[in-house]
Amino acid sequence: MDYLKSLRISASGLAANRKRMDAIASNIANAQTTRTKEGGPYRKKEVAFGSEPARRTFSEILEGEVDQNAQEVHATEVISSNKPPKLVYDPDHPDANAKGYVAYPDINVMEEMANMISASRAYEANISAINTSKGMAMKALEIGK
C-alpha cells in the first residue's frame, strides 16, 4: 500500500468522524427542544457508517494494485431516531398537552458526551495514522540524501 492510499483511508475516517461529531453536537444542543418545524420534539440523530474498497484512480482499478483488504469508511446516512419522546409533567410549559405533560426528546446527555469522546478519540487516531504516514514518507526522502 502506498503512502497516498493510507492518507486517503485516514482522511475518510476523519470526514466520517467529523460528521458523527456534528450529529452528536446537534443532539446535545437540542436535548430540550420541544418544538421543531416537522412538529413535535427534536429527534435524536445518529450517523451510519459504511465501508468500500480503497480504489480511487482508474489505473489502480485496471491494474488491480489495490490491496483487497484496504477499506475506506464513509458516513452513509444520518438517521433520525424513532424512539418515543419522554413525557415530563410541566403544566406551565407552553407545549404542555391537556394533561400537563410536555414531550421532550429522548436524549441522554451523558451518553451523548461519551459518544463525543469516542468520536474524538477515533478522530485523533486517524490524525496519528496520517502523521505516521507523513513521517514514513519523510524518512524515505532522507534515505536519498
Task: Determine contact, residues 18/127, Cβ cutoff 8 Å.
Answer: no
Give pLDDT, residue 5: 81
Identity (one letter) of the amino acid at 34? T
What proportion of the chain, given as a percentage, has pLDDT over 70? 88
Q: Please, how many CA atoms are within 13 Å of residue 18, restricted to the half-sphere of its CB?
A: 8
Is residue 53 classed as helix, strand or coil in its secondary structure?
strand
Tens digits of residue pLDDT in 21-76? 999 999 999 999 999 998 889 999 999 998 877 665 656 555 555 555 677 888 88
The set of residues, in sequence order, having a beta carbon less than 8 Å from that of 5 and lying 6+ positions away, is 54, 56, 66, 70
Q: Helix, strand, coil shares of the chain as percentages rounded to 5?
A: 45, 20, 35
Domain boundaries, the chain: 3-143
